[in-house]
Chain A
Amino acid sequence: MLQLKNISKNFGGLQVLQDVNFDVPQGGIFGLIGPNGAGKTTVFNLITGLLRASGGAIEFDGANIGKVAPHKITERGIARTFQNIRVFKEMTLLENVVVGMHDHMHYGFGSLLFNLGSFRKIEAQARERALELLSWVRLDHKAEMLADSLSYGEQRKLEFARALATKPKLLLLDEPVAGMNPAEKTELMTEILNIKQRGFSIFMIEHDMRFVMGLCDRIAVLNFGRIIAEGSPGQIKNNPEVIEAYLGKEDAE
């Protein structure tokens, strides 16, 4: 579904990614792990069009998306959540999710201006769908509250609902459980499995090994900008290079 071919990225003289190759298959949960600073978020930024690769190609559904603008990437079916949560704080939960549907709501200016049929229908449908998505993450009872009033874990769930509103084929999750306590992590694990079961493909970046091992069907490991391993959780767990990459760091500390 998503293929990174020989991707490299440098900032000035700094080589952040080199020879990055992996495939994210359709359906299922794919994980990208690696020590801090390995370049994981850069990969996401490249995929979503916030950065352009210095070399190589990114293909989604067979098409090269290297030069596509971010809001068009969303149109093509890739949605993303952020490491530091970026919900719209002064909007209600419902409004947050409806923003995600922006691209799928089509009515003309005249209809908007005079509150005509197509405007009313589409807005109502959007609200219904937003409520539905909120119910998937069990936040529908707070639909009319401001996003600001939610707890950290709840805001994370809101981000999911909002990303799902864009009708993505592939959902990119950037460190979804960063900063959460074990209880919240377990709950989020359930949410993500739910989302997978509804047919969405998921690609996640994460640090927490246990979380990743428990959820992902396939994992790639990034270290100093290079992929050092790719395979099933079992293979990765026992891969000596991976162990060294992680443990080596711990030794040095």
Chain B
Amino acid sequence: MTELFTTIGFMDWWDGFWSTYNTVIFGLGVNAMLALSIYVTLSCGLLSLANAAFMGIGAYTASLVSMQTGLPFPAALAIGGALPALVALVIGIPTLRLSGVYLAMATLGFGEVVRVIVLNMDITGGPLGLNGIPLKTEWWHIVLLLAATLYILARIRRSKIGRAFEAIKEDEVAARLMGVNVAGYKLLAFVIGAAIAGVAGGLNAHYTFTIGPGNYAFENAVEILTMAVFGGTSTLVGPTIGGMVLTLLPEALRDFNSYRAVVNGLILVLVILYLPKGIWDPRRIRAFFQRKTQAGGNN
């Protein structure tokens, strides 16, 4: 341990730490973005189980751009965000006419279709996926993009778009009669979510070196949903925290890795039953502190 206190010792330790844990640390940012991508749709009452598929489309697109064209990393990421957005637009227009539950299920199915298509295309490497993706992601890319995502979503929340989302989430019919173009706004949320998931996918691919269709299956969509629901969907902080905590949790519970899926499932059920607004619920937290100060004042 005394080695740590010398500069060289510290650098050695850091190198060791980084090479083991860099994917986890990158994962914090990427998962936060993924949780935010599903938060956008949940914020207007839409459950999109297609975000893992959008992440996959973004990952494959960005990787192929990096590997097969000479375009720089930002371009690859941009295209990796744009293509899922476009796909979301195309499948969204007919399906977003459906209401609530129909829609969630249609997005679930869409994810399946994407998976099947990707499994069968040559350009994506089929079931084996892509290998040898250049390691281009740096920590500051992730911080920058996460910050940008949070900023954009925060601005949207405060604007007429955010209000429209909230109104749609509460009561679609009333919102429609207030002049809100419900289908249009749902489509917007869907497309924004897809873009964020796509960029997250692109970032992720460029530090994991290899990707395959198994990374973007239904189980992954469920994980993303768990992160958002666990963190709480009333504010932006919730999904961000949810994504980060649920990235660290499997590391802390390394021994229970085989039961990771059970943990995800349990979290979903328990949170929905007992903590429906997730762990980060400003109202509950405020109420808790109010009770404490009242109790303190009475002493």
Contact = CB atoms under 8 A, between A and B. Distances in A.
Direct A–B contact present (CB less than 8 angstroms): yes
Contacts of B179: 71, 74-75, 100, 102-103, 166
Interface residues of A, number: 32
Given A71-B176, A86-B173, A91-B166, A119 B182 contact: no
Interface stretch (B66-74, B84-92, B156-164, B225-233): B156-164
B1 interface: no
Nearest to A162: B178
Interface in A122-155: 123
Contacts of A91: 163, 166-167, 170
B174 A86 contact: yes
A165 B159 CA distance: 17
B188 to A, nearest CB: 10
Contact of A80 (B171, B177, B180): B177
Contact of B174 (A88, A95, A105, A107): A88
Interface string A91-134: 10001001110110101000011110001000100000000000
B178 A166 contact: yes
Nearest to A74: B179
A76 to B, nearest CB: 10
Contacts of B155: 112-115
Q: Interface SS of chain B: helix, strand, loop or mixed?
A: helix
B241 to A, nearest CB: 21
A95 B173 contact: no
B170 A71 contact: no
A90 interface: yes
Interface in A194-226: none
14 contacts: A74-B177, A88-B174, A90-B166, A102-B160, A102-B164, A103-B179, A105-B160, A107-B160, A112-B156, A112-B159, A113-B155, A115-B155, A123-B159, A162-B178
Given A50-B173, A90-B170, 7 more contacts: A86-B171, A89-B170, A90-B166, A102-B163, A102-B164, A102-B179, A107-B159
